[in-house]
Amino acid sequence: MTMAGVSVGLLGLAIVASWWPSRAPGGAASAWVPPWCLLLVAAVLAGLIGGVLSWPALLPLAGFMCLGWLTQEWARSRWPVVVFGAMALALALHAFPWFQRVPVFEAVQLSAGAPSFALFASVDKALAGLGLLVWVCRRCSSLSEVITMLRATVPVLLLTVVAVLGLGVMSHAVHWDPKWPAQAPAFLAVNLLFTCVAEEAFFRGLLQARLTQALGASPLACWLPALVSAGLFGAVHLGGGWPLAVLAGVAGLGYAVAYARTRRIEAAILTHMAVNATHFLLFTYPALA
């Protein structure tokens, strides 16, 4: 494995480790270095050696993480979270030239009638997702919370999968195509940790959550944040055409409802991953040409 691959693997582990308790046993937070932080440092060092990051990338990365810390320390002030969100968006949109995409597998035709598909791991987008997870997203902190979250999420998850892929079939964007290609494990891991986590952490964990908080007891808080996050999620897919944007908007509404029912980021991530995994494994991927 190359150092670029090591960097991607360590970054994925850092994202997983963000669910590790933030305090040491006994509650001594000041003496506790979170595992995700150690893994992030190792991933960055491997990335610098492997050419995934250039040295100037350390400046926006350090600034991003410091802003994330300020969102907690200055919780009553709005500007840190606004700037932090803007910084996360800039990273996710590859605004900084010092981060390289790492190829996971080369272009291959996964479905008959579909164009070839190549997978890349976007390190800057994954770093944005990690920072959002750690500093602003509300996560499950116990087994009982996980069980409660799953009970509320599963019905929404199933309905979202059926709605999105049903519309995809009806619009002739995809058709039934069950498969388990050799690239499946890599796709599922990278899509979960580098795509679903980052997108849900931004659209639901930051945007929808903060808008709900801002509306407070207003009746609009019940539905407006979900519609806004879903609409913006669809809008960012306009580059693929209106049909894709509409499907993404429907999917985003499902993710938003899952989050609204639980107020836990895992609900949105699981629903998003269920749609993507079902699409990849059971239908034309990425779409009919």
Rounded Cα–Cα distance for residues 50 and 177 (Å) = 37
- The residue with greater pLDDT, 52 or 74, is 52
Q: Any residues with CB less than 8 A from the CB of 249 and at least 6 apart, and which? A: 230, 231, 233, 234, 235, 237
Rounded Cα–Cα distance for residues 19 and 134 (Å) = 8
Rounded Cα–Cα distance for residues 179 and 243 (Å) = 24
Q: Are 206 and 85 in contact (CB under 8 A)?
A: yes
pLDDT digits (tens, 9 = 90+) for 100-133: 999 999 999 999 889 999 999 999 999 999 999 9
pTM exceeds 0.75 for this model: yes
Rounded Cα–Cα distance for residues 284 and 120 (Å) = 19
So what's the pLDDT on residue 75? 61
Rounded Cα–Cα distance for residues 265 and 130 (Å) = 13
Residue 13 has pLDDT above 90, yes or no: yes
Residue 30 has pLDDT above 60, yes or no: no
Any idea which of 83-97, 139-153, 211-225, 254-268 has the lowest mean pLDDT?
211-225
Any idea which of 50-64, 208-222, 226-240 has the lowest mean pLDDT?
208-222
**CA-based nearest residue to 97, from 40, 42, 53:** 53
Residue 76 has pLDDT above 70, yes or no: no
Cα-based distances in Å from 107 to 41, 110, 203, 218, 288 = 31, 9, 29, 49, 16
pLDDT digits (tens, 9 = 90+) for 141-197: 899 999 999 999 999 999 999 999 999 999 999 999 999 999 999 999 999 999 999
Q: What percent of the chain clears pLDDT 90, i.e. is strictly above it?
A: 75
Residue 217 has pLDDT above 80, yes or no: no
The string of DSSP letters for 132-171 reads: HHHHT-----SHHHHHHHHHHHHHHHHHHHHHHHHHHHHT
**CA-based nearest residue to 278, from 198, 165, 195:** 165
Residue 221 has pLDDT above 80, yes or no: no
